[in-house]
Chain A
Amino acid sequence: MSDITDPLTQEFQAPSPREMLKQRAKGHLGLLTGLGIVGLLALVAIFAPLLAPHDPYAQSLMTRMEPPVFLGGDWDHPLGTDHLGRDYLSRLIYGARVSLMIGAIAALISGVIGTTMGVAAGYFGGKVDAFVTFLINVRLAMPVVLVALAVVAILGGSLTVVICVLGLLLWDRFAVVMRASTLQISRRDYIAAARAVGASTPRILLTEIMPNIFNNLIVVITLEMAHAILLEATLSFLGLGVQPPTPSWGLMVSEGKNMMLFEPWLVLIPGAVLFVLVLAINLMGDGLRDVTAPENRS
């Protein structure tokens, strides 16, 4: 019991910023819920081969359109089978891979593009800023879904094409947010101090600016990942995204649409999972913003 010391002699220590962050995170219900669901779905995606009861591509004409368990089906196919007799649960599980992979890679690509542009605009200002702002305006003027559909139609819908198209289209929010954050940071005294002691521009950008806008970057990455996942599903639903027989949730909704009249669950289940994933990522992003920058809470 030697760790009990007299409180009067103990030196008072203010909690470190990291500890305060942890405290705030622990009390944030939305962040915890979001993290929990995203973590769970990420695990499902990683361990898909172990978790899926059947091969997601295996067709069986004898067992087509079997209903899920809660609609009177049997436990061999807990969520039923689709119009080709493929196990719906297995396709959902593998679909998590498609969604999360596309979302993560697209967000990373657009993150690199947008952050580079935003930081350059915010730090250098002047003509660079004007040019980046112009590019942002051009990008915002292009209708995303329409352009993405057209490009995918021309180049053919493969996973790579969809990821690249989304990555090249979704950098606007990164650029806007990173530009504003950099603008704010580069006016601080410690940047002037770094410059005064002769730090080079790359050094200032990497060791002074980047660490200070990193929190905002993480928030935008999560929100844009959600955006990319929604867009992939939309493109696949419209038939110009990920191509069959890949198990994409948007594609599953689209395939189920024709049988919606009799078997609405074919549409309801994949859409609901998509909704939950995107909601969880958004909750996570909003939560991260609250926790890392409590002063910006709206």
Chain B
Amino acid sequence: MLPFILKRLGLALLVAFTVSFISFSLLFLSGDPAAALAGETASGEDIEAIRTLYGFDRPMMVQYGEWLFSAVRGDFGESYYFKLPVASLITDRLQVTMLLGLCGITFALLTAVPLGVAAAIRPNSMIDRLALFLSVAGQALPSFWFGLILIVLFSIKFQILPPSGAESWRHFVMPTIVLGYYAMPAIMRLTRAGMLDVLNSDYIRTARAKGAGEGRVLFKHALRNAIIPVVSLAAVQMGFMLGGSIVVESVFALHGAGYLAWESIARNDLPTVQALILIFSMFYITFTFLADVLNAWLDPRMRSA
């Protein structure tokens, strides 16, 4: 187990390192970050002043090394727009996003797992078809549009939920649904496939033969085994969802890290953008690493992979 964990950890660190380089390089995509920062009306002297002020005149690798060295210690520089340390800016906003992500994944699990189980118990029944329809439709539903429809329905027409903000739990209902439905189809399909697989296995037949009640067979014997891959999928989806929160947060004007990302991209606030890309990537890397370890712990066959 330990060699597996160390190997995975090494790989995760290598991925993180590469991602950090890519997100730093984004700054240089525009050709000249100093000119981009100074704006279109700036004179040559202004651009030169900014170049030396921010150290853009040094070799790129030197700048990268310095940036990475500070980033590891939690210092992401100062935001061009907010004139605040990027790190404190992000930690303030991250709470909202984390809360949203947790609510979203909980919502997805609470709806997708029962639906997947029900679909697997009766393949080709109405509920199976409904589940299939929901998962196919769910994958095609543009989340920004889904969010706006919910606003039209629940905020404008029925006026029971606030359209934007993050003051109370009621502000989180619609964003949770929009973010959570995104992870639903995959979780549901995996639950259904896993349950179908397990329900056809010998030990389920044995359990039935021994006279175990249907509820006991389904939940104690079958679901317990079928849920293992779902747990790790949920962890991976959580990583994806945090990255996807940018859309949901901008639709509902929820001032989390996703909204901050959108704001800082629109304002050319590159240190904030770099830091956010890196942080969202780190979340994904951490969650997939945890999922891998969890999988290997529960299923020793995975340890060779």
Q: Which A positions have Cβ atoms within 8 angstroms of B?
A: 134, 137-138, 140-147, 149-151, 153-155, 226, 230, 233-234, 237-240, 250, 253, 257, 260-261, 264, 267-268, 271, 274-275, 278-279, 282-283, 286, 298
Contact = CB atoms under 8 A, between A and B. Distances in A.
B144 A134 contact: no
Contacts of B30: 154-155
Closest 7 CB pairs of A and B: A143-B243, A271-B145, A279-B140, A278-B140, A143-B280, A141-B281, A154-B30
Interface string B139-162: 111111100110110001000000
Contacts of B145: 253, 267, 271, 274-275
Contact of A267 (B14, B148, B246): B148
Interface of B: 11, 14-16, 18-19, 22-23, 26, 29-30, 36, 136-137, 139-145, 148-149, 151-152, 156, 189, 193, 242-244, 246-247, 250, 261-262, 265-266, 268, 273, 276-277, 280-281, 284-285, 288
Contact of A154 (B26, B141, B149): B26
Contacts of B189: 298
A143 B273 CA distance: 12
Given A260-B151, A261-B156, A274-B142, A142 B281 contact: yes
A260 B22 contact: no
A140 B285 CA distance: 9
Contacts of A154: 26, 29-30, 36
B247 A137 contact: no
Nearest to A143: B243
Contact of A145 (B151, B244, B268, B285): B244
Given A146-B277, A230-B142, A234-B144, A260 B152 contact: yes
Contacts of B140: 226, 230, 275, 278-279, 282
Contacts of B285: 141
Interface of A is mostly: helix
Contact of A253 (B148, B156, B243): B148
Contact of B142 (A143, A234, A260, A282): A234
A139 to B, nearest CB: 9
Contacts of A261: 156
Nearest to B196: A298
Contacts of B268: 153
A234 B247 contact: yes
A103 to B, nearest CB: 13
Contacts of A141: 15-16, 19, 281, 284-285, 288
Interface of B is mostly: helix
Given A153-B265, A240-B265, A279 B243 contact: no
Given A234-B144, A274-B142, A275-B145, A142 B22 contact: yes
Contacts of A233: 142, 144
Contacts of B141: 275
Contact of A279 (B15, B137, B265, B281): B137
Taking each of A146, A149, A151, A286, which has the highest tally of chain B beta carbons within 10 Å of its own beta carbon?
A: A146
A142 to B, nearest CB: 6
A230 B276 CA distance: 23
A288 B159 CA distance: 43
B18 A138 contact: yes
29 contacts: A137-B15, A138-B19, A141-B19, A141-B281, A141-B285, A142-B23, A143-B277, A145-B243, A145-B246, A146-B246, A147-B277, A153-B268, A155-B30, A226-B139, A230-B142, A233-B144, A234-B144, A237-B247, A239-B266, A240-B266, A250-B142, A253-B142, A253-B148, A264-B152, A267-B145, A275-B145, A278-B140, A279-B140, A298-B193
Contact of B261 (A146, A253, A282): A146
B281 A278 contact: no
B266 A150 contact: no
A145 B265 CA distance: 11
Taking each of A143, A237, A274, which has the highest tally of chain B beta carbons within 10 Å of its own beta carbon?
A: A143
Contacts of A279: 136-137, 140
Contacts of B23: 142, 147
Contact of A150 (B15, B26, B143, B156): B26
Contact of A142 (B11, B149, B277): B277
A28 B145 CA distance: 29
A142 B20 CA distance: 10
Contacts of B156: 260-261, 264
A151 B29 contact: yes
Contacts of B26: 147, 150-151, 154
Contacts of B16: 141
Contacts of B19: 138, 141-142
Contacts of A240: 265-266
Contact of A146 (B29, B143, B193, B243): B243
